[in-house]
Amino acid sequence: MDLPYRPRRLRTSPIMRAHVRETHLHPSQLILPVFVREGAQEPRAISSMPGVVQHSMDSLKHAATEAVELGLGGFMIFGVPTTLDATGSGLVAEDGVLNQALCAVRAEVGDDILVMADLCLDEFTDHGHCGVLDDRGRVDNDATLALYAQAAVAQAEAGAHVLGPSGMMDGQVGVIRTALDEAGFIDTSVLAYSVKYASAFYGPFREAVDSSLTGDRKTYQMDPANRREAMRELELDLDEGADMVMVKPAMSYLDMVREVADHSPVPVSAYQISGEYSMIQAAAANGWIDRRAAIQESLLSIRRAGADTVLTYFATEAARWWREENGVA
């Protein structure tokens, strides 16, 4: 047949496919989210997230060292306290589990990996919301910002290189940036959760942090139906000084990853969240999919959509595979 174009020529062999491959996945592009439980003496399994644990302080430090050895780009820490209150005071407290963990991990790995802190009240409040409540039980945006500012300084003092404000409060990036600068932490970066949707796929995360939430977070997290609103959120966070921005979730919102990447002048992250992780694990456990291939494809799709970095619970495993495939000892 007289075919002037034969795209299949570029798919004829593994070496040809590798030669023309447009998107690559490297360990440095992966960020590992981890949980540390106050008072834990050993890791505690999370039933809805097979393979993920609530770390003890010792196992957390080991995980951080392993992340460095594998060449991961970041280590994002979430705290799981034993005592909760209405204002989430454990987030700010110097002896709070998250700040203690940041201090311990930074002492362990120094500047060999980005030590990142979740900056949100939801794990620390007895009502499970990302902010403090007013007398009518609604999240008080501006009162919450004052606590975020205090938490930002506390986390920077504890050693965090990067802060990840995830509460979706209006004005949070600007307040955090101002607090950091006034406290002398001008080099501490802000990874803004700029586009965070009120997703059904957060379910397993609630177990991971022992969430006490009743109800939902739809008054502050974004409606999954909205696209233009996401670009407005991005614009505001950039204006307020975000150093990097994030889309969360990732796999169900690849269109928004692409949209944000096309418009953002700063690096873009995407978070492959707990439900996305657990779906792959469950399908693989039932023999319905090839686990390794599905994990690698899912991460590659997030990168292809435009994410510069990916937060994923598969980070260490994906990094080991990369080293194996590339002959790195």
pLDDT tens, position by position, 124-164: 999 989 999 999 999 999 999 999 999 999 999 999 999 99
φ, ψ of residue 8 to 5 degrees: the values are -65, -20
Task: Give percent of the chain with pLDDT exceeding 70.
Answer: 100
User: SS in 3 state form for 199-217?
Assistant: CHHHHHHHHHCCCCCCCCC
Active site residue 218: no
Q: Angle CA(66)–CA(108)–CA(122) in degrees, nearest 5? A: 85
Residue 239 pLDDT: 98
Residue 1: pLDDT band by 50, 70, 90 thresholds? confident
Alpha-carbon dihedral of residues 113, 103, 169, 212, nearest 10 degrees?
Answer: 110
Q: C-alpha distances in angstroms, 37 versus 78, 82, 184, 208, 256?
A: 9, 8, 30, 10, 33
Other Cβ atoms within 10 Å of 87 Cβ, number: 18
3-state secondary structure of 115: strand
For residue 167, give both structure tokens: 């509460």
- What number is the average pLDDT over the span 49-69? 97
Active site residue 196: yes
DSSP state of 190: E
Residue 90 pLDDT: 95
Residue 329 pLDDT: 75
| Domains, the chain, ordered by start | 25-325 (3.20.20.70)
pLDDT tens, position by position, 196-253: 999 999 888 777 776 777 778 889 899 999 999 999 999 999 999 999 999 999 999 9
pLDDT tens, position by position, 238-255: 999 999 999 999 999 999
Residue 10 pLDDT: 96
Sign of CA dihedral 33, 35, 53, 219: negative
Residue 210 pLDDT: 67
- What number is the average pLDDT over the span 65-87? 96
Choosing from 106, 129, 196, 303, the catalytic residue is: 196
- What number is the average pLDDT over the span 60-85? 97
Residue 217 pLDDT: 86
Choosing from 244, 248, 306, 315, the catalytic residue is: 248
